Chain A
């Protein structure tokens, strides 16, 4: 398996689609990628760079989408969600309820994938604020194979979507993608507890749980997954940990799971409600927030020995 970035794989597949489908339009807020140069060169009339202007990125994309184009709007994740949240709310969430539009917001830099760039580039609020808007599907893939699969869905589902891509090249979390439309997948089976994670954290969960009897679930359609199938998967499991690269307890993955799995013990793991200014590797930033590999392994250890965990509680 190769190491690849989600955006490169997604954009390469999109480039192919753009050759055959002249209704696909790409809008960037002066944010690039090697494959994007190819899109720009090959489809100059269906690519526009609006400059460093995310509000206008959204508005222009909406205008194009209202006219029937399938639009991809592209920028750094915190900026395409938070700089222009009002535009997303008014012109996408609200308007799309009255006028259908296929608009795909691609945010690159999920969680702390830009760990060295500090709090402006750490994207820890987007899962909760995007999830709270009606009419927008939130896609949070854990690897490039999922990202690639989403290209078809992004064209077929004529609704607004937010694609939360990691910035860093990574190995796939699993060799192949099965039952993609379920919105989640089991990366590891286990009976003592389950970790439900999203994005990069699904890969991390798989790593830290490797030596334990813990199920690892990668949830990538945050508000469009098959809940019944997920519940069936977790039928014999009492304890669930949610794990996300996002602020804890404020409406992200944890809130989704807490509200849906009411008859289980759910432990929520995520970032403390503070910003991290000290720079370092992604793992360093995780450690600063109690989410380092060792922190997680300790927790998993505790959980797989039920008695000791209960005592500690």
Chain B
């Protein structure tokens, strides 16, 4: 049974911890790391994913490919909390010698693929999904991309390939926060209607109206993961870039904006006090 209160609490925890990391390491992309928080919360704390902190490459894990790696700094506190690595490492983000950089790579336990260049995760996950099927494994492949990232053509090669090979053990989650680097994505490459695009490509499509409503996120992901339509699945999560920081939530340049160090404690308090 879903424990909504617990998941909400964990999402709040990740948001606060992400801001604290940003305070110590202003280089990290904060806005794009705030939009997928409920998704990661549902996947890990909601136990929708099989994972093993003691053996991050456990054959019986689900393969989570975080293609928008730069926008997943919230995974640092999550992975540390679950025991993938020592909590103390969080104090060293972006410091010389740390494995926790501005853009996460698989040197971090819990990451599967190299990040920093966009549009790579889905194709690799197609190969993983194909391999899992060939091995008769019941584990699944899950990919998280942003929406701006879908401008990369390689994604669409993979989208066609996954449908062709009926990779129903593959789920793409789109953190549809609608802001790219220089503007609202609608003003750069308008992806609407994303759901119609995926339907036309023969994918099984799910949509989360509010990607910060933990119950909606949890329930939709759960439904998608268990579906058996002989099709790959996409979960389009409508999210807000910079969620939790009002000035970021509406700003077309939120991707490259930082939160002032002096303001962070105030935002943390607001988030902690919110219901």
Which residues in A have some Cβ–Cβ distance to B below 8 Å? 25, 45-46, 48, 50-51, 53, 55-56, 58-69, 86-87, 90-91, 94-95, 98-99
In the complex with contacts A90-B114, A90-B117, A95-B114, A64-B127 CB distance below 8 A:
yes
Is there contact, CB below 8 Å, between B117 and A59? no
Give min CB distance, A211 to chain B, whole Å.
Answer: 52
Which of chain A's residues has its CB closest to B113's CB?
A95
Q: Which residues of B contact A59 (CB under 8 A)?
A: 120, 122-124, 126-127, 154, 158
Q: Which B residues are in CB contact (< 8 Å) with A99?
A: 106
Contact B130 A55 (CB under 8 A): no
CA–CA, A65 to B131, complex, Å? Answer: 8
Given contact pairs A68-B131, A99-B106, A56 touches B120 in the complex (Cβ within 8 A): no
Are the CB atoms of B165 and A63 closer together than 8 Å?
A: no
Complex alpha-carbon distance, A51 and B165, angstroms = 12
Is the Cβ of B154 less than 8 Å from the Cβ of A63? no
B161 close to A (CB within 8 Å): yes
Contact status B154-A55, CB under 8 Å: yes
Indicate which residue in A66, A68, A69 contacts B124 across the interface (CB closer than 8 Å).
Answer: A66
The closest CB in chain A to the CB of B112 belongs to: A66
11 additional contacts, CB 8 Å, given A51-B160, A91-B120, A91-B124? A55-B157, A56-B161, A60-B158, A63-B126, A63-B129, A63-B131, A63-B141, A67-B131, A87-B154, A90-B117, A90-B120
- Point out the residues of chain A lying under 8 angstroms from B107, CB to CB: 98
Contact of B127 among A46, A66, A95 (CB under 8 A): A66
Residue among B106, B127, B164, B165 having the largest count of chain A Cβ atoms under 10 Å: B127
User: Which residue in chain B gives the minimum CB-CB distance to A22?
Assistant: B134
- Find out whether the CB atom of A56 lies under 8 angstroms from the CB atom of B123: yes
Tell me if B253 counts as interface (CB < 8 A to partner A): no
A-B CB contact pairs (8 Å), 20 listed: A48-B130, A48-B165, A50-B161, A53-B157, A53-B160, A56-B161, A59-B120, A59-B123, A59-B124, A60-B127, A62-B123, A62-B124, A67-B127, A67-B132, A87-B154, A90-B114, A90-B116, A91-B120, A94-B114, A98-B105
Residues on B with beta carbons closer than 8 Å to the beta carbon of A94? 105, 114
How far, in Å, is B58 (CB) from chain A's closest CB?
A: 13
CB-contact partner of A64 in B112, B130, B158, B161, under 8 A: B130
Task: Given A67-B135, A87-B120, A98-B106, check contact A56 B158 (CB 8 Å).
Answer: yes
8 cross-chain pairs, A with B, having the tightest CB-CB distances, nearest first: A63-B127, A59-B123, A67-B131, A56-B157, A60-B127, A53-B157, A63-B128, A55-B154
Task: Determine if B153 is an interface residue (Cβ-Cβ < 8 Å).
Answer: yes
Q: In chain B between 139 and 156, which residues have their CB closer than 8 angstroms to a CB of chain A?
A: 141, 153-154
Alpha-carbon gap, A61 to B123, bound state (A): 9
Q: Which listed residue, B123, B132, B141, B165, touches A55 by the CB 8 Å rule?
A: B123
Residues of B within 8 A of A95 (CB): 106, 113-114
Closest residue to A86 on the B side, CB-wise?
Answer: B117
Residue B11, interface by CB 8 Å: no
When distances are taken between beta carbons in the complex, the residues of chain B under 8 Å from A61 are 127
Are A67 and B154 in contact, with the CB atoms below 8 A?
Answer: no
Q: How far is the CA of A31 from the CA of B161 in the complex (A)?
A: 16
A55 to B160, CA, bound (A): 13
Contacts of B134 in A (CB 8 A): 25, 45-46, 69
Q: Within 8 Å of chain A (Cβ to Cβ): is B217?
A: no
Give Cα A95 to B106, complex, Å.
8
Report the Cα distance A171→B33, complex, angstroms.
Answer: 59
Residues of A within 8 A of B141 (CB): 63
Contact of B237 with A by CB under 8 A: no
Flag whether B125 is at the interface (Cβ < 8 A): yes
Interface hub of B120, B128, B129, B157 (most chain A Cβ within 10 A): B157
Docked complex Cα distance between A98 and B158 (Å): 24
Greatest chain A CB density within 10 A among B112, B114, B116, B122 is at B114
Cβ contacts under 8 Å, A91 to chain B: 113-114, 120, 124
The answer for the CA separation of A151 and B137 in the assembled complex, in Å, is 28
Expressed in whole angstroms, the Cα–Cα distance for A64 and B74 within the complex equals 28
A63 near B130 (CB under 8 angstroms)? Answer: yes
Compute how far the CA of A36 lies from the CA of B237 in the bound complex, rounded to whole angstroms.
42
Chain A residues within an 8 Å CB radius of B112: 66
CB distance from A158 to the nearest CB of B (A): 15
- Whether B126 contacts A60 by the Cβ 8 Å rule is yes
Asked if A53 and B114 sit within 8 Å, CB to CB, the answer is no
In the assembled complex, how far is the CB of residue B152 from the closest CB belonging to chain A, in whole angstroms?
Answer: 9
Interchain nearest-CB distance for B7 vs A (Å): 30
Nearest CB of chain A from residue B231's CB, rounded to whole Å: 17
Check A63–B106 contact: CB distance below 8 A: no
Scan residues 32-80 of chain B and give those whose CB is less than 8 A from a CB of chain A: none
Q: Are B161 and A60 in contact (CB under 8 A)?
A: yes
Considering the complex, give the chain B residue whose CB is closest to the CB of A92: B114
Taken together as a complex, chains A and B put the C-alpha atoms of A107 and B217 apart, in Å, by 44
**Cβ contact within 8 Å between A63 and B123:** yes
Q: How far is the CA of A69 from the CA of B125 in the complex (A)?
A: 14
- Nearest Cβ in chain A — how far from B65, in angstroms? 9
